[in-house]
Chain A
């Protein structure tokens, strides 16, 4: 087991050696880059990275440039998980055969994918990798929409959001389905570690990433990634929107160990109304009309019920 990196404070953390360069094409205010830096900076170990097709990929490896100062691979939309799993298999093979060039170093294997690549098109590949038990971390950059292609709905898009393929209109309030519960699904794979993180809670996030790196086997991280472009808020508000998400419990921060033990890792001192979170984003603007306002109440009821469920699960320890 390699040594866990000690991080004293945010200043210390933010001046860590960057293996994800600031020179990239992501939108100003994009949470992806914050999350990726927090993941990569959580360890001093070598990294072998993969990305599925999506915002992160198209903005960081446009020939002849790369933003990655660690080995990185992209194949397609659905198979970032399998790409890194293949690399991990090769690592094991070369280790067995004594052919590693740096045999004393143990790289970490991490795949990044958006929610489209994770909840939808890449779901089968991720499930396969987790069932097979590759020693890898899969990080979903969950911005609840196909942002790279202009804002189409995914199965992570929450009910009531206006997306280009589920637009709010005269007779529609937008997306009709509840967000898929990837955390529960990945925990059900029996993964040793599954956690939901948010970039504004960086200490919580780093602790979880380090726990994930210390675990043996496949680790799933669901990272909330507020999207200035598709959620429709000002680029400078990314962290404040993220605060609204975690403090309204729309994105509760918790972890599930060995598929069963659920721990809540952040309890807001003041829980704010879901209405405040929804009202800060253009994608929910149409909910604040007479005909749609009942949906805001339904949102609050659903979020309260989920929070209750998480607390009961934590208490039950099963």
Chain B
């Protein structure tokens, strides 16, 4: 039996330490991982817990991220709680197996500490890796702070392992801005944390020796489509209600309230920005300042990126006149993903908000309050004009000549 740690009510943790403690507290059975900046401290922290008797599961330090996820899949199919952590290039190397994990309906929790993907090589935070995984069939949560990185791990295990779901889940946090920035984190006791997630309940487990199972079959044109359709059905219908239920239960336990879409000052908002990660907090501050200057500004934070909360987004933007979509990933030949997702969410509704797209923060470039003031100011102009007054896609915080498209 692993030893417990008496945590203070509030610990000073960065996002990595918070995630590492969450993995310890839910007593993951197998962690298979490979170190990569900036997620390395999650793995190191877990190794420390293992070395000191605070976890009694297996810790498999693999030869690569692909090997890590491959081991995670084998372990999950064997029948137990499984987790890993990675970033950027490592996530890219895992990509093939991410599709395997979701297609095989295996619950696994992956802490993805968001980082740019090269070339050029870059260790700092942006959302390129998060975006790379968006069609991989994983549930994707977004944390904006160490506290949320901690809390969302418990939600992720609970939802992922639910027998109506059985889909793997990613908890995103911003590289360095969250992962390496220490803040006060309200903790759960080891007992309360474990009990919230509960004992792992195996299903189709390879280690049930009396009931052999075959995992990872081949299907061609006769069955492949039906399998993928069932996977999509689970992702589209089962997941959001389960997340909402988990959020409710978590609020009862901790008082901390999470929502599928995190709206801030949106009740009477005329203009809004939609973003993810640490930018949400910056945008909220600026929205307050804009309101002090007479602009009815609001902020929508994406809490669940996959499955995409189409209806919730449409509802929260119902009365908004102009929306800025802030994508922290190079769309490489298209409008940004958030722009396209939100446009798709609004198109068949009565909301005819003016949408504009801002590409920002690539490779760890700061998004400043001044940037957000100028974005909100442009959105106000769009709202007043009832049409775009700027190019549809602009690059924010870029050095040199301005870059914009459409």
Of the four ranges (under 10, 10 to 19, 20 to 34, 35 or more), the interface on chain B belongs to 35 or more
Given contacts A75-B97, A78-B66, contact A46 B209 (CB under 8 A): yes
CB of A63 within 8 A of CB of B70, answer: no
Choose the segment among B54-62, B250-258, B388-396 that binds chain A (4+ C-beta atoms closer than 8 Å): B54-62
CB of B207 within 8 A of CB of A90, answer: yes
CB distance from B29 to the nearest CB of A (A): 4
Q: Cβ of B292 < 8 Å from any Cβ of A?
A: no
Write out, one digit per residue, whether chain B residues 196-208 have a CB within 8 A of any chain A CB (1) or not (0): 0000000001111
Q: Cβ of B291 < 8 Å from any Cβ of A?
A: no
Q: Cβ of B265 < 8 Å from any Cβ of A?
A: no
CB of A73 within 8 A of CB of B216, answer: yes
Q: Cβ of B79 < 8 Å from any Cβ of A?
A: yes
Q: A107–B62 Cα gap in the complex (Å)?
A: 23
Given contacts A82-B71, A87-B75, contact A58 B218 (CB under 8 A): yes
CB of B70 within 8 A of CB of A82, answer: yes
Write out, one digit per residue, whether chain A residues 56-77 have a CB within 8 A of any chain B CB (1) or not (0): 0110011110101111111110
Taking a contact as CB atoms closer than 8 A, the residue among B66, B74, B210 that contacts A101 in the complex is B210
CB of A72 within 8 A of CB of B74, answer: no
Q: Which residues of the partner chain A approach B219 to less than 8 Å between Cβ atoms?
A: 62-63
Nearest A-chain residue to B213, judged by Cβ: A71
Q: A61–B223 Cα gap in the complex (Å)?
A: 13
Taking a contact as CB atoms closer than 8 A, the residue among A69, A76, A86 that contacts B78 in the complex is A86
Q: Cβ of B80 < 8 Å from any Cβ of A?
A: yes
CB of B79 within 8 A of CB of A90, answer: yes
CB of B61 within 8 A of CB of A90, answer: no
Q: A92–B79 Cα gap in the complex (Å)?
A: 12
Taking a contact as CB atoms closer than 8 A, the residue among A64, A94, A99, A125 that contacts B67 in the complex is A125
Taking a contact as CB atoms closer than 8 A, the residue among B29, B64, B96 that contacts A94 in the complex is B29
Q: Cβ of B37 < 8 Å from any Cβ of A?
A: no
Q: Which residues of the partner chain A approach B64 to less than 8 Å between Cβ atoms?
A: 124-125, 128
Q: Which residues of the partner chain A approach B208 to less than 8 Å between Cβ atoms?
A: 71, 101-102
Q: A90–B72 Cα gap in the complex (Å)?
A: 9
Top 9 A-B residue pairs of the complex, sorted by shortest distance between their CB atoms: A86-B74, A128-B63, A82-B70, A86-B71, A90-B78, A79-B70, A71-B206, A74-B216, A86-B75
Q: Please report B residues at the A interface, Cβ cutoff 8 Å.
A: 29-30, 32, 56-58, 60-64, 66-67, 70-80, 82, 96-97, 100, 104, 205-210, 212-220, 223, 227
Q: Please report A residues at the B interface, Cβ cutoff 8 Å.
A: 46, 48, 50, 57-58, 61-64, 66, 68-76, 78-79, 82-94, 96-97, 99-102, 105, 107, 124-125, 127-128, 131-132
**Cross-chain pairs A/B with CB under 8 angstroms, 25 sampled:** A61-B217, A63-B218, A71-B215, A72-B215, A73-B216, A74-B215, A75-B73, A75-B216, A86-B30, A86-B32, A86-B75, A86-B77, A86-B82, A89-B71, A90-B30, A90-B76, A93-B56, A93-B80, A94-B80, A97-B29, A97-B56, A102-B208, A124-B64, A124-B67, A128-B62
